[in-house]
Every structure is written in C-alpha cells, then in structure tokens.
Amino acid sequence: MTSNNSTKRPGGLDRRAFLKAGGATALAAILAPGLAGRAEAAFSGTLDMLAWDFQPDTIKTLVGEWTAKGNPAVNVAVIPNLGFSPALQTRLRGGDAIDLFYNFAYNSQKFIDQGWAAKLNDLPGVDDMVADMFESARPAYVNAAGDIISAPYFSAVHMMHYNDRMLKEAGIAAPPQTLQEIHDASKALKDKKIVDSPYVAYWVKEFCEEYLHTYLLNEGITAFDTAGKPVFADDPKTEGVFAWWQTMYQDGLAPKSVLNDDPGKLSNVMAQGDAAFFVLHHYFLTSIRSLNGPESANVMQSPIGGSNHTFQIGEVLQLGQIEDEERRNAAWDLMKFYGWKDSAGKFTVFNQWAKAAGLAAPYPGFFKDPDVIAAFPDYYDLPLISKTFETGSKVIPARTLPWYPDFQAKVGDIVHALLLGQATPKKTVEDLTAAANSAQKGRSL
Amino acid sequence: MSDIALTRTSRRRGKAATAAGLQRSTTATVILYLCVAVFAVWILLPVWYLVVSSLITPTQLGVKPFPMIPSSITFDNYLSVLTGATGSKGFGSTDMGARLIPAIGQSFFVSSVLVILNLFIAGIAAYGLSRYPFTGSRGFELAIIVSRVVPAIAIIGPFFVAFRVVGILNTPWALIISYNVFTLPLAIMILKNYFDQMPREIEEAAKIDGASRLQTLWIIIVPIARPGLVAAGVLIFLESWSEFFYSLVLTNQLTVPPLLAGFQSVQQFNWNSLAAATVMSMIPPVVLVVIFQRHVVGALTAGAVK
C-alpha cells in the first residue's frame, strides 16, 4: 500500500524551488536512517509468539535474526502440533495476549470472528504482500468480503510421487495424471506383479477431506462455490470420483492398511519399493529421498489433474488483537518478516523451511530467489512446482469459513464407509452434502 | 506387614485346597501358563517394537516384515535425540537433546512433589473416611470418585485464567496444583481401601496407652500402612508422569508427554527418534515400578481376599 502512493507531477521547477527541493532531499537522506531506526525501536517491550513444534530452534534463530536488526525481542513459545488448536483456543479464551501465532487455515476466519485474531487490512505493506502472492493462493488469505485474515506460514501442492523404474518396467510411458490413468497404471503394475498394492495415500479419517478436494479438483469439480454452498452434488462427475476411490481400495490397488497408515510409513513404503504411486504434498519427496531406501532414488514427482487442477494447501500466521498501536506495528513487522520477506526483500524464513523440509511459499518470487533455488535439493523440479502453484492448483476458500471444521470432522467417517463398501458413491455424495449443509446451519457435532 | 499377612492367607488357602484334593491338573497348569505367556507377549510386544524401533535406522523401519530381531543395531537415534543431530535429515524437533533431559527433570520434580503432597492430604482424608464415617460419607466417597471422570477440557479454562492471574503459567506449580484434580481422588480411593483392611485393635491399644489421634496416625498407622502409601505414591507418580493435556495448555512443553508429541509435526514423523526419546523417558517410571511393584500389587489387591 505504501508503495502505491500517487505522486503529483509539478507544473514547473525554477532554480529556487530546485534548491529547496534538493536541500530537503539531502536533509531527509541524512535523517532517514535515524527516523527509520526510531520507527523500528518505537516499541521497546517484548513480543509474544506461539508456534507449533516444528524445528523450534530454527524458529528462535530466525526470530533472533529479526530482533538483531534493531527490532523488539520476541518471546517464542512452542507447543506440539498435536493438540495445538484446543490449547491455543483455551489460552486465547483465557485472556492470554499472543501477538503472533501459527494457526490452521481452517481456523482463520473463526479466530477473526471470535476476536482472537486481527484483520490485516490497512496495515502498511499488506496490499503489497497480497499482490505478491500467486493469484491462485489469495483466496486462502483474503476472504470473500475482502478482509485479509492471515499470512502464509507455509504452502504446498498435492503432487504425484511415482516410481520411475517400476513404470518403465511395466511399459508405462508417462506418469498418470487423471484418476482413470492412475487406476489403469495401478492395475497394470498389479497385474504384472511388479508391485502388489501400487497406490498409497494418507487416507486416515482426519485427512480424507484433503483428498476429497484433491480428487474432485483432479476431475475439474469445485466442491463449494464462493458463498460456501456445496455444489459438488450438482456435478454429474462427482459420483464417478467416489466410484474410482472405492474401486482403488476394494480392488486392492491400495493396501488395506492405508486407512490407518501415517505419511512416515507411506514414505517408507515408497522408499522400499512396496508401492509405485503416492499422492500427497510436494515436500514428501524430501521424506522419501532422505530415507535412502532401495527405491528412494527412483521416486520422481509429477503433476496430477491433467488439464484440471490439484489441491493447494497451507497453514497460516495470524496477528493477535493488539490495542497498543506501537506493539501492533512491531508485531506486524515480525509477521511480514515471517510470512513474507525480510527488510532486504529476501525470503529468509521460507528459505529456511525449504532447506528443512522442502516447504514452499505461495509467492512467485520465492521460486525465483537464488537462495531458495539453492535450498531445494536437485531432485526437485522447482519450475514444475511453481507452475503448479501458478496455474495447476486451487485453494478452497470455504475451508477458512467458521463452519468448515464441523464438515471436515465428518468427512473421514463418510469416506471410510465408502471405501469399506458400506456406502455407495451415490449415498456418499448425499451424506457429504448433508454434512456440509448441517455444518453450515450450526454446530453439528 | 499387611500384604505379608495376605500372602500367608493365600498360601494357607492353597495348602488347604491341595489337602482337600483340589490340586490343579497338569493340563490346567499348562493352559494357565499358556494364557499368562500370551498375555505377557501381548503386553510386551509393543514395548519390544518400541525398543527395536529406537535401535534401527529409518530405512530398516520400513522393511516388511518388521525386523523384530534386527540384523544390526545403531545408537544413532539416541545420539541424535541427545545431541539434537536430527538436523535437516529428520523432521520435527532439532534441539530435542537440549529439551528432553530438562523435561524429564521437570516431570520428575512435578511427579515427586505431587506424590508427597497427595500422600499427606489423601492419607489424612482416607484415614478420616475409614475411621470416622459421618452421615453422607459414602456419598462423599462417591463424589470423590466421580470427580475423576470430569474431562480435563471442561475445567482447564478456569485453571488457565487463575494461573495467569497468579502468574504461575508455564511453571511446575501450575501442573502440581491442577494434577490434584485426578491424582488426589485416586490416592484417597487406594488409601481408604487400604485403611479399611487394617485391624483397629492396634489403634485402640495406642489410644489406651494415651496416644492422640494424630499421634496414632503418625506413629502407629503410617509405618503399618507403608505398603499402601508406596502403592498410592507410585500410581500418583505414573499418572502425573504421563499426563498430557494440562501440560499442553498450561505450560510450553515443560514436561515429557507434550515434548514427545512434538515429534509429530504436521503430517511428518520421525519414528526412530521418537522411539529413542520415549524409551529414555520411560526409564524413571519403569525403575520406580520395578522397585516398588510388590507394594503396588499388594495394595491394589488388598481387600480382594477379605
């Protein structure tokens, strides 16, 4: 916003005016660093930040770097990701003042509505931050009313991880992209006894909701409209998606244990050569490769969805409700540093997360930053991931709405009933529609 | 003393049963031992799985079938947990070494203080309920038991506000105070049951000798009730050691359970390091139980052969 100030073009410039303007400019140049420094040091207290336990030493180092540049000290508290949401809500409800905190995207609008998090509109530079994002990512951070509710903590896209050696052995020319291609390739690998259960995915109940969107988007189906109305039921292709999902499990193309397997195990399954396909966030390639299993080096990454889309996800940072203006500005500065760029325009924080685990940021500039490019191991096709963010993926804006967690909590049971053969694809569509409608009508749990 | 008496009683019964011709047949003995063996395997297999997981590499962990007896072992997982060398090769915490040992220390402190505090309060309460029943004391006992079923999420909010006002959030005292909600009823239940089994004649003799109620409790009852107190103490210690939710909300990973939960980080797991950290954090309670197991079993079965 600050960089978009319109400038009035002067009608003319005489000698006196030129000298005045020159003197003023020189004076401003001399005073600017001091003023800037004073502005940075306006808040002299300590900020409070709450994060979940992912490399807390790295969090503290990054925040320490920010403080070392003349910014306020930050008290970083870390609690586990497991139980983070109830713990954070209990703390905020109990009057804890947290200036900046990690949050799950699905909680972001709820926290604004509850008054636990502040809208970012009108904060200096926030429009530039939003403008800097991939267009596809913006609806995750800006709601339908135009309120900016959060900043990115990290982002990812669902990608296909495939075993190149197995595909070549089966005579499959290119990695499958559409659901039908995935089914056919999996069946071919199974029939040729190259691998018994070729396809794995993180289909535990808590995560089925992400796959619901991934598979629907793969077939060009949008689950919810901009108002949050469940429109997937109106699309005739939806039943076909569920029929595919059920077939993959019932026909043994995915292992029976997949309803309970964690991503660590699934990565190992790929590394050991016990599966050929694994659809999950792009950064799981790091996990598979770093396991150094007999097939790790053969696992590659490719897009899914064909001419349609894959699912883009991410968790967020939110700013606490801060009355004191100087404190709020200081916290916002920290938020910009942590969820966007540092004062030198570098993606310092995101670069660290890229090094640590291959996490990404929803900014085109992130993928062009030489430091970021160097941070990703060679086995990543960064232009492909960048392109997937830009044109090959979508976020689901409804996921940030307050009622959404209620719907999310029901998806696992409904999808598992489908996979276990207890429900038909048609009934699954009906059940999911009913779950979405009841969640929107009020608390349904 | 009491558990020795109980053991003697059961031995006498065993001998009486044998004398009456009820000696167990070989088949029954075999079946019994088989059942015990199956039960032991059922209990110990997960522990063995955990120990093996802590001694193998992530690659070995993914091998099918799981190597219950690994061909090679490594202590790298323990080293990485202690030195924080999980680095960028592993996910989750990278400074676990700097945090695990202090967390074990804090867990030990919280649990130990709680044991002392609970035995004192619960000892007096249980003795009072056992020896001086009052109108409605049975209802009072039931109320104590019922208080254990109140879910933590329902009462954590008021605790948080109170501790924030007092300024003891993220300190061991926040946990010591809040853990009483579930440890104190447990201690009262165990000790009340234990006191009920103790003969009253000794106390009456002390009273005749001029001892006050508190003197009787301290000089006569406490030494006799030592096995019961030890058992209650061990169980309080274990409950406190493994508590997760209060510690999650009221502190920033001050104790072991929320610290171990930190190994799961947004769909990413480091099972080997988690296994190593879990094995290390199991050592204090396991040692405690091994030392005092005789008392725990004795006190918990007190009353079973009444």
Residues A172 and A244 grouped into a single domain? yes
Q: Which of B53, B91, B153, B266 to mutate to test the interface with A (most CBs of A within 10 A)?
A: B266
Identify the helix (H) or strand (E) that includes residue A47.
strand A46-52
Q: What are phi and psi of A381, to 5 degrees?
A: -95, 85
Taking residues B259-288, report their average pLDDT.
Answer: 84
| B172-231 per-position pLDDT tens digit | 999 999 999 999 999 999 899 889 988 888 888 988 989 888 888 888 888 888 888 998
Same domain, A112 and A50: yes
Contact A46, A74 (CB under 8 A): yes
Q: Please count the CA atoms within 13 angstroms of the CA of A316 that sit on its side-chain side.
A: 28
Averaged pLDDT of chain B: 84
Smallest Cα distance from B109 to chain A, Å: 20
Q: Where are the domains of chain B?
A: 99-300
> What is the model's pTM?
0.84
Task: Tell me how far apart the terminal alpha carbons of chain B are, to the nearest angstrom.
Answer: 16
Interfacial A residues in 267-296 facing B (CB < 8 Å): 268-269, 271-272, 274, 280-281, 287, 290-293
A266 and A411 inside one domain: yes
Among the residue ranges A410-419, B63-72, B137-146, B245-254, the one predicted with the least confidence is B63-72
Alpha carbon A38 to its chain centroid, in Å, reads: 35
Count other C-beta atoms under 10 Å from residue B220's C-beta: 18
One of 3.90.180.10, 3.40.50.720, 3.40.50.1000, 1.10.3720.10 is the CATH number of B99-300, namely 1.10.3720.10
For tokens 């709820």, the residue is: A110
State whether A208 and A225 are in the same domain: yes
B80-83: long-range pairs with CB below 8 Å, 24+? B80/B273, B80/B276, B81/B273, B81/B276, B81/B277, B81/B280
Let me know whether A261 and A125 are in one domain.
Answer: no
For B89, the closest chain A residue by CA position comes to A290
Domain contains A24: no
Shared-domain flag, residues A247 and A359 = no
What residues of chain A, 158 to 187, have a C-beta less than 8 Å from chain B? none
Interface pTM, i.e. ipTM: 0.80
Summarised one tens digit per residue, pLDDT across range A26-75 is: 444 444 443 333 344 588 899 999 999 888 888 999 999 999 999 999 99
What confidence category does residue A443 fall into, taking pLDDT thresholds of 50, 70 and 90? Answer: low
Q: Does A205 touch chain B (CB under 8 A)?
A: no
Residue A130 lies in a domain: yes
Q: Are residues A107 and A245 in the same domain?
A: no
Query: Residue written as tokens 């993926």?
Result: A393
Interface test with B, best of A48, A52, A54 (most B CBs within 10 A): A54
Structure tokens at A368: 């062009």
B62/A80 Cβ within 8 A:
no
CATH number of residue A72's parent domain: 3.40.190.10
Domain enclosing residue A206, as ranges = 156-312+395-441
Check whether residue A276 and residue A299 sit in a common domain: yes
Chain B partners of A91 at a C-beta cutoff of 8 Å?
A: 160, 249
Q: Which of B89, B160, B262 sits opposite A53 (nearest CB)?
A: B262
Q: Return the pLDDT at A32.
A: 42
- Using the beta-carbon criterion (under 8 Å), do A82 and B268 form an inter-chain contact? no
Q: Which residues contact A186 (CB under 8 A, 6 or more apart)?
A: A198, A199, A248, A253, A276, A277
Same domain, A300 and A180: yes
Summarize pLDDT for A132-147 with one digit per residue, the tens: 999 999 999 999 999 9
| Domain count of the fold of chain A | 2
Mean pLDDT for B137-159 is: 89
Cβ within 8 Å, pair A83-B59: no
Residues A76 and A196 both lie in one domain: no
Peptide bond into A377 cis (omega under 30): no
Is the CB of B153 inside 8 Å of chain A's CB atoms?
A: yes
Give A341's contacts (C-beta < 8 A, 6+ positions apart).
A132, A347, A348, A365
Given A382, A408, A426, the domain boundary residue is A382
Residue A114: per-residue pLDDT: 93
Whether residue A214 has pLDDT greater than 90: yes
Regarding whether A361 and A275 lie in a shared domain, the answer is: no
